[in-house]
Amino acid sequence: MPFLLLVDGSSYLYRAYHALPDLRSPGGEPTGAIYGVLGMLRRLQADYKADYKAVVFDAKGKTFRDEWFPEYKAHRPPMPDDLRAQIEPIHAAITAAGWPVLTIDGVEADDVIGTLARQAEAAGMDTLISTGDKDLMQLVSPRIRWYNTMSEELLDAAGVEAKFGVPPEKIVDYLALVGDAVDGVPGVSKCGPKTAVKWLSEYGTLENLVAHADEVKGVVGQNLRAHLDFLPLGKKLVTVVCDLPDLPAPQQLVASPPDRETLHALYSRYNLRSWLRELEGAAPEAAPAPAQEVPAPIAVHYECILDWSAFDRWLEKIQAAGLTALDTETTDLDPFAARLVGLSVAVTPGEAAYIPLAHAAPGTPEQLPLAAVLEKLRPWLESAQHSKVLQNAKYDQHVFANHGIALAGIAHDTMLQSYVLEAGQWNGAAHSFDALSQRHLGLTPISYESLCGKGAKAIGFAQVALEQATPYAAEDADFTLRLQQLLQPRLAAEAALQSVYADIEMPVRQVIWRMERNGILVDAGTLARQSHELGQKILELEQRAFELAGQPFNLASPKQLGEILFGQLGLPVKKKTAGGAPSTDEEVLSELALDYPLPKLLLEHRSLAKLKNTYTDKLPRMVNPQTGRVHTNFSQASVVTGRLASSDPNLQNIPVRTEEGRRIRTAFIAPPGSRIVSADYSQVELRIMAHLSGDPRLLQAFAQGEDVHRATAAEIFGITPLEVGPEQRRVAKSINFGLIYGMSAFGLARQLGLERSAAQTYIDRYFARYPGVARYMEEARASVREKGYVETVCGRRLWLPEIRSSQAMRRQGAERAAINAPMQGTAADLIKRAMIAVQDWLERERLNTRLVLQVHDELVLEVPDNELASVREQLPRLMTQVMPLKVPLVVELGVGADWEAAH
């Protein structure tokens, strides 16, 4: 089947220019758009082998649409000079690479593409339109598809309808209603996408809607009727013309051989080194990745805003910008206690402004009043249409909320971009602002400590002089913008990672913020009683320990404990510390506890002391006095597998295997008139193992709703499920869960108290009955050895750099992680998708139910009694449908007055 590839060159130009950093040739000429456009064309050409192809650009000057409507595109900002300078070499390079280039005077590129696509369709050809322009989706048909190179989004007719809610043939009606701010086409006031889809679903076409406009109620109906005279012209403006005369036929758009001499001159002039080496016959390298290289230095200009004139000038800049970097300076790291000291913005690399609001250092000039600034900024801050990029946006969103501002339009978060791209590749605070700036920009930001000091003598940021505060704060916004311009193209080049970022991490970021804001109600009286009871038990255990040791000693002192256990009592030394002393860590005590009473008692003492110190004593002090609730922090970018991490306080690690640990959950309560609901995925990692391995027996066990441990025991021991006894099921359960974590025969033997040979026999039988699992595990090891990473079902990439370690134990640890990480990571993606789906449903239905906690595979909600029936019905459905797997997902639901009672 003949295949035509049409590229919207004008769309490529702008996207490449705004996506890439300010790259420069040795002579100082801008090269970012050149690199971006040619790189996208190279990838497109590699992915789609076309019989015919062309790159289509807008011509200079006016088109027929300007005659129809003088305001058409009249308010677009002029093309940046740096982009204009790159157009000629881009055209030259595309032509030299052999692509036919079309620029037709008096018409837009869209109309040329539309005409060629329809001609090809009539001739029986398939066509792919590569663009970022949604207007061209109106052309999609059984033979025409729409493709966004940067986001890897490929849409057929069903995809267009899924994305916009209307089929391709109604896109022009849809655009006429919602308008196109970029092209200056006004839509119906207050008619957003949902309203447009609703109207077109009800009335079918724009013309029918216009005929029945009197039936549309409310303010939006009045707006519709006020706009009726313009709607026909609006539709005409957004309709792609598909019958232009005098164009070359699609069959004439044949590629020519590359002009190597011209390409060599262009690649040399614009410093495209990798492509130049490839052209000269050297072994081709991967396409150059500017996000990995240190960009050329940029001259900076940072401004301190102290008067309304400068403020208004910057307000105009951010209102007109496609993307603004935003950062706050505050009084506190605690997001609920923090108040604004100032804020900074940047729209162009190297240029930023700091608006001080509450500095109080001696000699500080008068600042603009905080309340007045926030009111002037409120429309922009709360606008979803004005895109913003922040580093760790959740913190800033809390800060603005503390001032009554509902920050919206958070389009990007550089911390999350790095987390999706580089999870596991770097040690330490890999996704912190300082680390990202040093790694990607080659720049070390001004340190907070250099301004404020540290320790007892530290001052607050409000005490920093503006001469020092301005470059520090403005730099934060500037570097954030630069990081966005480096990281986003890398994400866009990886479809799966872009999806993880855009469809999981960014939406769940908002859910997490809301969940933190909600907090959870804690009964301080219950905790106080538990704390007293734990204290009594701890004292009793100490006395019993003294009796067993024959003398009093400090149970918290490793030195004294070692002298008692190994010196006085003569217990066997299991391992030693780095200093050569006998170890008394938990692993050693657990092993000794199997045979000796004192180590067992010491473990119980440690467990109760931890509960008391970490929870029953500490939690009441962490209740927010304004809300009466505990507000934990969920870190989204600290666990390699994608799981959230709770801190301050950590509510994910409350020990629940002991009665005392479970009792702590009774202090997490619902307010009067509500209940706590717990929704927990059942055996989710085992189900994901079945999905990933595709093992028929494992899939069958889950599909039929069997007790999978009993089914496994029956397979291993060669008996029927009815014959499986408790001990056999225990063995099977240990194997099922152990293999998820890459457990060896030695580890299984220790866990079950067996000889190593017996444990190995059980594992061998398991793999003989479940060969798909064995195959999956070997493929995971091979994949991580080859690539350095493994992936989740959703495409999250989990880097395991230890696989290249020179130490065998570290390499083996990475191999074990390669088996488990896709399961843990997929489970993390699953629960995040569930959080998004549940929160969307709560908002859509306008319910008062709140998500209050996420603990691994469990969601905890606070549900008013009158919404309980609906939540009981919908929650399992929502959670089990967010990710299609080869096995059914099961959600166990519990309801109670407190968290423990809901289990």
For residue 673, give Cα distances in angstroms to 522, 572, 862, 865: 16, 57, 10, 6
pLDDT in tens, 524-580: 999 999 999 999 999 999 999 999 998 999 998 888 998 999 988 989 988 887 677
CA distance 17 to 21: 8
pLDDT at 387: 95
Count of other CB atoms within 10 angstroms of residue 334: 14
pLDDT at 793: 94
- Give CATH 3.30.420.10 domain extents, the chain: 301-493
CA distance 436 to 444: 9
Tell which residue, 12, 233, 256, has the closest CA to residue 113. 12
Whether a cis peptide bond, with omega within 30° of 0, leads into 649 is: yes
The larger pLDDT score, comparing residue 1 to residue 498, is at 498
**Across 828-839, average pLDDT:** 97
DSSP β-ladder status, 301-304 and 324-330: unpaired
**How many CA atoms within 13 Å lie on the side-chain side of 569?**
22
pTM greater than 0.75: no
Whether the Cβ atoms of residue 680 and residue 891 lie closer than 8 Å to each other: yes
pLDDT at 444: 83
pLDDT in tens, 155-184: 888 888 888 889 999 999 998 898 876 677
**Across 237-242, average pLDDT:** 90
Whether the Cβ atoms of residue 10 and residue 17 lie closer than 8 Å to each other: no
- pLDDT of 283 above 50: no
- Tell whether the torsion through CA atoms of 545, 550, 555 and 561 is positive or negative: negative
Write the DSSP assignment of 205-246 as a string of letters.
SHHHHHHTGGG--HHHHHHHHHTTTTHHHHHHHHSPP---SS
- pLDDT of 77 above 90: no
pLDDT at 810: 79
- pLDDT of 366 above 80: yes
**Across 294-316, average pLDDT:** 87
**Across 45-69, average pLDDT:** 85
DSSP alpha helix (H) spans, 742-890: 745-752, 756-769, 771-787, 808-844, 868-880
Whether the Cβ atoms of residue 606 and residue 585 lie closer than 8 Å to each other: no
Fill in the DSSP letter of residue 368: -
pLDDT at 281: 67
3-169+244-252: CATH architecture: 3-Layer(aba) Sandwich (3.40)
pLDDT at 585: 87
**Across 102-123, average pLDDT:** 92
Q: Measured between alpha carbons, how far apart are the two ends of the chain, in Å?
A: 59
Max Cα separation, the chain? 104
**Across 830-844, average pLDDT:** 97
Fold classification of 685-820 (topology level): DNA polymerase; domain 1 (1.10.150)
**Across 769-787, average pLDDT:** 89
pLDDT at 293: 45
Band (360; pLDDT cuts 50, 70, 90): very high
- Give CATH 3.40.50.1010 domain extents, the chain: 3-169+244-252
736: three-class secondary structure by DSSP: helix
b/e 529-568 (16+ beta carbons within 10 angstroms → b): ebbeebeebbeebbeebeebbeeebebeeeebbbbbbbee
301-493: CATH architecture: 2-Layer Sandwich (3.30)
pLDDT in tens, 613-651: 999 999 999 999 889 899 999 999 988 899 999 998 999
Which pair of structure tokens corresponds to residue 336? 């609920």
Which pair of structure tokens corresponds to residue 530? 């538990």
Look at the block and give the residue holding tokens 């971009």: 417
**What mean pLDDT value characterizes the chain?**
89
pLDDT at 482: 94
Which pair of structure tokens corresponds to residue 208? 């029918």
Q: Does domain 523-622 have CATH number 3.30.830.10?
A: no
- Give CATH 1.10.150.20 domain extents, the chain: 685-820
- pLDDT of 777 above 50: yes
